[in-house]
Every structure is written in structure tokens, then in C-alpha cells.
Amino acid sequence: MTVSPAIATDGLSKRYGSTTAVADLDLTVPSGVVYGFLGPNGAGKTTTMRMLTGLVEPSEGTATVAGVPSDDRRQLVDRIGLLPEEPPLYEELTGREQLEFAADLRRVPFEQIADRALGLCDRLGLGEDLDRRVDGYSKGMRQKTAFVQAVQHDPSVVFLDEPTSGLDPRAAKTLRELIVELAADDTTVFLSTHILPVVEEIADRVGVLHDGRLVAEGPPGELIGSVETEGGADLEDAFLALTGDASEAYATE
């Protein structure tokens, strides 16, 4: 029995005028893995994620996510979760109301997913603050809320852009554990971050984008093994060797 990939792209490209943001991207991401998507500032990572989630129309090529064409936004929204770098939260809502609103957008009664949502909030240390308004939340609390709303409906594929941004070390560790648990439950996690040790720790596969093109792909150990350094290499060494720009390694896109 052939299992369809969670994400598949064929010649996916995006141009803005004379500028090519993403060029001829071919990706195959299986189900139930954590896929680390790396690249320097301006490499095209955010544009790729926006195409895969149906927010931006590609100039050329095709993509399917969870078996749905990326241009079928109505079906796609029910099968994916998205945590963008700037969390989409409403200041005037409480955290609980925000989660209820996100469920309603997907036509999912919050009562059906409340146990899962509230359990995630408790694990992230957010449970006692759910009835406070979002405009009083810290950056870390906003990030936790946005993560929960991205995964509370048990999507097949989750896209996370800098998910640990603003989190204290304890919350960041818990979130990494939750990402691994999602993959263990057959959810595919497409993770974009500049915190390379996180990717090295939890990713099953890594893709490196540079100037809009995929320049390397494989398990973290395989990419690390391709780099020769004195005293041993890590994913940062591999990343810098592949992209050739140390100054941008930890920039925020």
C-alpha cells in the first residue's frame, strides 16, 4: 500500500516582478515527521510556507498538503494548522475566546476539542491566564496561545514559523516536547526556525533553502556528516557551509 506524502511540491516557484523568491522547489515530506526548514534571511522560507498554506498563489508549479491542492483553501484549512511568525490574535478577546474563535473558523465546535486545547494550555503554563484579554499578554503568552490554536483541532500537517520565539527556557522545552509528540501521533510538523540546535535535536529531516532554491536535504546527521571541521561538526556548521553566510545564520526573516 502506497502512502501519500504529507507535503509534495513539483516545480513550485514564486516571482515578484523580476525577483524570484522561490525557484523550482521539489519537496516530498512524509507523514509523521518533523521537517526542519532552514535558510538565511530572505531565502524564501516564509514565501514557501505561505504558498503551502494557500495564502499565496505560486507563479509556477503545484503543491499538495495532506492530500489537498494548496489552492483549495477551503478544504486545506480544515487539515492544517499554522503558526506564523506574527501570531494572528485579536487584542480584545480573552485567550479562551481566541481559541473558541479559531475553532469556529474551522467549523469545529469548541466543546469537541476543549479537553485537548485546555490540556495543551495547562502544559504550557497558560491555563490560569485564559480568561485574561490578549492585549495584556506577554509575547510568550501570545506565542503559546497561537501554538494551541494551530494544533487544537488535531490537523494532519502543522506549519510552525519560529514557534519558540518569546518563550522562556521551560516553556520552550515543553513546546519542543509537544512537537515531538505531534509527530509521534502521525502529525507532520513543518518547522522553520533559526535556532539550529532545536532542529538538530528534534527534526527527522532537514531542508536548506538558499536564494530561493533547495540546496540540501536529508537527516540532520547526514547533513552534518557532509561537513569536515576540526573537533566535530554540528548543524550550524553544515548550515553555514551550505549557505556561505555566517552573518545571517540567526537573523529573523
The predicted-structure confidence for 10-22, as pLDDT tens digits, reads as follows: 999 999 999 999 9
Residues above pLDDT 90, as percent of the chain:
88
Reduced to 3 states, what is the DSSP secondary structure of residue 86?
coil
141-182 pLDDT tens trace:
999 999 999 999 999 999 999 999 999 999 999 999 999 999
C-alpha cell at 91: 487584542
Structural contact between residues 157 and 188, judged by C-beta atoms closer than 8 angstroms: yes
pLDDT for 87 equals 87
* pTM score of the predicted model: 0.93
Question: What is the C-alpha separation between 252 and 64, in angstroms, rounded?
Answer: 27
CATH number of this structure's domain 7-245? 3.40.50.300
Checking if the pLDDT of 80 tops 80, the result is yes
Question: Is the pLDDT confidence value at 214 over 80?
Answer: yes
Residue 227 to residue 214: CA distance in whole angstroms: 17
Q: What percent of the chain has pLDDT over 70?
A: 93
Q: What is the pLDDT of residues 108-146, one digit of tens each?
A: 999 999 999 999 999 999 999 999 999 999 999 999 999
The residue-averaged pLDDT of 194-221 equals 95
Q: What are the residues whose beta carbons fall under 8 Å from the beta carbon of 124, sequence distance 6 or more?
A: 144, 147, 148, 171, 174, 175, 178
What is the band of 249 on the pLDDT scale with cuts at 50, 70, 90?
very low
Whether residue 229 is predicted with pLDDT greater than 70 in this model: the reply is: no
Round to whole Å and give the CA distance between 111 and 132.
20
Look at residue 230 in the predicted model and tell me its pLDDT: 53
